[in-house]
Amino acid sequence: MLSLDGAPHRAPYTLAMLMTLLNIWNIMLVVLGFGLMILLHELGHFLAARWAGIRAPAFAIGFGHALCSWRKGMGFRIGSTEPEYIRRLKALGEHPETGHLPGVSETEYRLNWLPLGGYVRMLGQEDANPKALSSASNSFGSKPVWKRMIVVSAGVVMNLILAAVLFIIVFAAGLRDVPPIIGGVLAESPAAEAGLETGDVVRTIDGKPANSFADLQIASALSGRDPVVFGVERATGELIEISVAPRFDERAIERDTKMIGVGPAASNRVLQSDIYSPEDELRDQFARAGLVGVRPGMVLTSVNGAPLESVVAWRGQEVTTLRTLERAVEQSDGDPIELTFSAGDTERHSVTITPRPELMYAPTMLGDDPTAFEHLLGLTPVMSVAGVQKGGREAGLEAGDVFIRIGERSWPSLITGIAEVRAHAGRPIELVVLRNESEIVTLRPTVHRRGTIGFWPGSATDHTFLGAPPQVVAINGAERPERLAASRLSPPVGAGMRILAVNDRPVDDFRSLRAALWDATREAHENASSASVTLTIGHLETDGPEVISPERLDWQLTAEEIKQLHALGWQANSVLGQFMTAQMIVRASGPIDALGLGIDRTKRVLILTYLTLQRLFSGDVRVQSLRGPVGIADIGSRVARDGFIQLLFFLALISVNLAVLNFLPIPIVDGGLFLMLVYEGITKKPVPIAVQQALTLLGLLLIGSLFLFVTFNDISRLVTG
């Protein structure tokens, strides 16, 4: 494509460059925020030391050699002013530790090469060198224990003050937060087993008010051996209490964190375009989901002519959710649903969607990652092309293509197909697809080194072709994986077969297949008994959809399997996934209220941080869930995209966490030194130097090992996406 001046069109490169610059800017904002926290922490120590009359030769941000420095009376320097300062002291016959130069400050303010922390070097006190003692009257060790305790704890106090101030600013301006409304419940999750439902508003957690959806996640992650009690308000207005026992879920992305299996509620506004999601891409995405003509940012106003419901959230705020749409889908019996969208006061746009029959899910593995696959009593649909990206278009793929073969896999299911594509990363692969139900097309694209071709994979539920089912794995401590009903069929059914009929009733897609199985087992379901059905199976030609050698198979279904079959409803997940998460504004009514909210949030985060550490040692929180500097910077850069107030809130949380971590009873951090001062205050003598050295080495090893571990985990998360 050419621009108006005839030069090559560079919009994609400009966009990519702009996104990169924005990411760099966001990371810089987070780094600057960290720098402010470190600066204030060390300023707390410094001001307290000056108050106590302790000499402080250095106030440093970062570690290692000085990048630049400034000293009153000597000015700015590249590198450190200390060599010149000591040389001038010696020229006057002064001692480097206790001497004084007229008109020159005893403190050097320096920025070091490695900006991952900071320190105040006080006369007679160095964390990494317990032998650095001094008998001078203005040294750290010469001051009373109570004064030294104040100096040691001043940094933590400054972090807590910073957090409180940031929280006050945030709540005065108004913080966008996610209301404590349940938007979805995963099948076979702790929440589903306990009876939580979509649309439930969580009012209390263990008797305490629930202010946001994050409260649910935190309570689940930090739960101990006892269940969490949720006080919920149903859509009917009924208030009930439900006990849920959170657990680790190996199928989840965050499988190192305990969870209950619920998601936040969605709002009635579709996704908005930004630099990361351009409008044309979102329009294509909406069209693939069935929302043809809907523009980013439009608002859903009615479902089948009925207006959407609102839910009362924090402090009486009304939040409009998709509960009306979700209920319409559940009660649709598969009939079309009309949705009306608006943009402003005048523009209206209507679309009609058709709910899909809900299928079952079974746990499996995709490489090293746990996932799940769709099936109907073990009958697994074939992989298809749900949508095409640039690489897929260049390869010749089209939306709706059904995969007859991917590499060496004939009639692959979704998981087996993705695995085969990934196995050809960086190499050509042969694809044979069925197009428009009759045309067979052979393609030979090269798989990207990331293991992708350039399309959104889906399942061809609009046919009854059977794919090769992946292996079912055991989850949640089960001794063996569950056996799916289709595994009992003899001869086995799977890849290269097609379901033609159920009890001689013809079927041509998974919707009619499920309906036929429902009717064939209706009486057994009512009597809670088993049933036998007859499937007519057709074998498919190797490279085509033609059916050969049809045969009839008797299939015995248990009462439990029939119960699960009849529990299946209808879903429109592709549509529901196009809406933004519901939000509310947490804003104080005035300065006093902002102060109260800020102090309350500081206390809450303080307690939660200590609880996290406690759960870490008890095994209820896994160490893999911890984040280091790389992970925090990554999360912070994403938070920064949501606005300056969200970034301030994030930094306030980090400031509280830094306060807690700095005051842990670990050698080399403030808490360890404070503990030694407590010992000295009780025994009237300091901890022996040899013990201090051993504890310092232990602290360095502990913190260094933890730093390397969490950094490795952070980088692994970034690399694996």
Task: Give the residue numbers annotated as catalytic, written as ranges.
Answer: 42
Name the burial class of residue 34, with classes exposed (0-12), middle (13-18) and buried (19+) by CB atoms within 10 angstroms of its CB: buried
Report CA torsion sign: 654, 267, 238, 186.
Answer: negative
Q: What tokens does 271 get?
A: 């996704």
Q: 595: left (phi > 0), else alpha (psi -120 to 50), else beta?
A: alpha
- Which residue from 462, 249, 218, 272 is spatially nearest to 361, judged by alpha carbons? 249
* Contact indicator for 137, 42 with CB cutoff of 8 Å: no
Length of the chain in terms of residues written: 721
The rounded distance, in Å, linking the Cα atoms of 650 and 185 is 28
DSSP 8-state class, residue 141: G
* Contact indicator for 710, 627 with CB cutoff of 8 Å: yes
* Contact indicator for 274, 266 with CB cutoff of 8 Å: no
The rounded distance, in Å, linking the Cα atoms of 130 and 138 is 17
Query: From the centroid of its chain, how far is CA 267?
Result: 19
Q: Which residues lie below 8 Å from residue 553, measured CB to CB, with a gap of 6+?
A: 489, 490, 491, 493, 534, 535, 537
Return the amino acid letter for 593: D
Helix (H, G, I), strand (E, B) or coil at 174: coil
Q: Which residues pair with 136 in a beta bridge?
A: none
Phi, psi (deg, nearest 5) at residue 53? 80, 25
The rounded distance, in Å, linking the Cα atoms of 150 and 166 is 23
- Which residue from 39, 199, 3 is spatially nearest to 115, judged by alpha carbons? 39
The rounded distance, in Å, linking the Cα atoms of 196 and 243 is 9
The string over 479-494, giving b where at least 16 C-beta atoms fall within 10 Å of a residue's C-beta and e elsewhere, is eeeeebbbeebeeebb
Report CA torsion sign: 369, 370, 376, 378.
Answer: positive
State how beta strands 455-459 and 383-388 pair.
antiparallel
Segment (H or E) for 716: helix 689-720
Query: From the centroid of its chain, how far is CA 91?
Result: 60
Q: What tokens does 116 get?
A: 């991952």
Could you tell me the CA-to-CA distances from 272 to 26, 38, 292, 299, 711 in Å, in that order? 20, 36, 16, 10, 33
Alpha helices in 140-210 (DSSP H): 145-173, 190-194
CB atoms closer than 10 angstroms to residue 181: 26
The rounded distance, in Å, linking the Cα atoms of 112 and 98 is 24
* Contact indicator for 230, 242 with CB cutoff of 8 Å: yes
Return the amino acid letter for 639: V
Return the amino acid letter for 465: F
The rounded distance, in Å, linking the Cα atoms of 207 and 212 is 15
Q: Which residues lie below 8 Å from residue 484, measured CB to CB, with a gap of 6+?
A: 362, 375, 377, 378, 469, 472
CA angle at 689 for the pair 684 and 692, rounded to the nearest 5°: 95
